[in-house]
Chains A and B, each alone.
Chain A
Amino acid sequence: MADYKEIINQYKDLPGGIIEAYHALQREYSYIPEDSIAYGAQVFDLPLAKAYGVATFYSYLKVGERGKNVIRICESAPCHVAGAKEVVDALEKELGIKMGESTADGKFALEFCECVGQCQATPVITVNSKPYGDVTPEKIPGILAAYK
């Protein structure tokens, strides 16, 4: 895996680039390594509190370890009425973890999210941001198999 310092350095000349740097870290690690924030603060010449403040403000960013494949399920109103709850139950059962947790083998993280803009096919889940629409509990094992 690439060193987080190298990743952050690529953005050092980009005005306001710390959020882009955080995205790049997540593409590599699936999360923002806790230690990298202090380095980010140094590179972008920010107080540490501010670098933390930015990293923790945005729900798409996650500080600290989580599973490699991030499964997010939309709980916004259109997905809610279309049966998101049943999909949540199926995901928790299939992976043996609760929402907000990661599997012990580090392969999967399970999270709630709000609308991902695929409301023509509710309920929707995303795996590493790739959307899957019209999801039913029956479809879950098949979708996850591709990432196992």
Chain B
Amino acid sequence: MAEEMRIVLRNMGKIDPLKIEDYINAGGYKSLEKARQMGQEALIEEVKKSGLRGRGGAGFNCGMKWSFSYKVQSEQKYVVCNADEGEPGTYKDRTIMENDPQSVLEGMAICGYAIGANKGYIYCRGEYPYVVDILNQAIAQAKEKGVLGDFDIEVRMGAGAYVCGEESALIESIEGNRGEPRFKPPFPPVIGLWQKPTIVNNVETFANIPIIVEKGADWYKSIGAEKYPGTKVVTLTGDVNKRTVFEVPTNTTIRQVIYDFGGGIKDGKKFKAVQIGGTSGGFIPESMLDTPIDFDSMTAIGAVLGSGAVFVMDEARDIVNVVARIAGFFEHESCGKCNPCREGTKRIHEMMEKLDAGQGSSGDLSLLERLGTVMSKACLCGLGQAAPAPVLTTLKNFNSEYQAKLN
């Protein structure tokens, strides 16, 4: 029986999230103090050495990212917390912010010190106005206590655009623009918000920072998978007995997640498929359930860890129908800036609806495969590149479902 390991969620249920005193009594803000004593370069080196990789889905080495901004000479730099949690099936960042908002603020302030930024933004999705309230209260308390020093944090609200989870689209949105991704390079750590060096990290990434500074890189690196160390906050949804949130070392397997933490499939039914990482994740069959959830192991089976959403489907689910719905999601969320995504998501949705209605032909299947492959290469940002993944992985791993619905 696999066990939970709470690092990010260490204070959940133990402190009152709206009382900064509770957080301070639990050792909060000691890491920020320690970080300032370490010096910028040693701090960045420590974060780099810990092996912490971005928890938003891209999996880039966090300390490395910070070093890019640190090296740029600029009178103004920014720290941005990506709280635009929009991947269907994901509610981990909400859980973190609702239960321990100060840990996110402290992580941001540590990053601010590391790169030389005195201003931070939290971009919180518009669907979470109640989280915005919590964050604003937490920030007011931190300012009153003076724990953040000269580091200022402001909350900005998203407005229901999934694409704003992409860091350059998020930056555009904070600037008051349509949330359309930028061409890269230059990357945000060099030219970001208002053309200044900007670090955008996910909520969970920031929440990991204080404890890494407190306990050290070697401690952190010893947890979980070697190349993607630490823990992952995972959210379960779909046909499992327990739809819940928990935190596990990254070498935990998919099977353990579904059966040990999720209590197995609901109503005594059999497992059919699991989609991990959000709605752009691949569909995984039974034969791959013993794969560890870490970034590289998931990539190796043609899937992703992504946001850590785990969406389980039982034997009665119609895979083609679910993928058709997902295709509708991407048509809706495509920002329209680049043609391959704007047109591609629309055509994929059209073909998936046709197949779902039993009107499709085997020619449609090969067209889908060709279009999906082109999109994964030609689209401007991660949204369009990942949008075909549910289609491509189900064509591969659940092909009989398509065959059964052909005209």
Contact = CB atoms under 8 A, between A and B. Distances in A.
Contact of A77 (B173, B243, B325): B325
Interface stretch (A92-100, A111-119, A140-148): A111-119
B125 interface: yes
B306 interface: no
Interface in A54-72: 54, 57-61
Interface size of A as a range: 35 or more
Contact of A114 (B159, B313, B329): B329
A86 B193 CA distance: 44
Contact of A120 (B87, B91, B129, B160): B91
B244 A115 contact: no
A122 interface: yes
Nearest to B172: A16
Nearest to A57: B178
A120 B158 CA distance: 22
Contacts, number: 127
A60 B335 CA distance: 14
B161 A57 contact: yes
B192 to A, nearest CB: 13
B176 A81 contact: no
B157 A19 contact: yes
B290 interface: no
B382 interface: no
Contact of B159 (A15, A19, A121): A19
Contacts of B219: none
Interface in B310-347: 311, 313, 317, 322, 325-326, 328-329, 332-333, 335
A132 interface: no
B159 A16 contact: no
Given A78-B238, A81-B238, A120-B237, A23 B126 contact: yes
A16 B160 contact: no
A58 B91 contact: no
Contact of B322 (A50, A80, A120, A129): A80
Given A54-B176, A59-B159, A117-B128, 18 more contacts: A15-B194, A19-B157, A22-B159, A54-B178, A57-B161, A57-B179, A57-B335, A60-B126, A60-B161, A76-B89, A77-B326, A77-B329, A78-B238, A117-B86, A117-B90, A117-B127, A119-B237, A129-B129
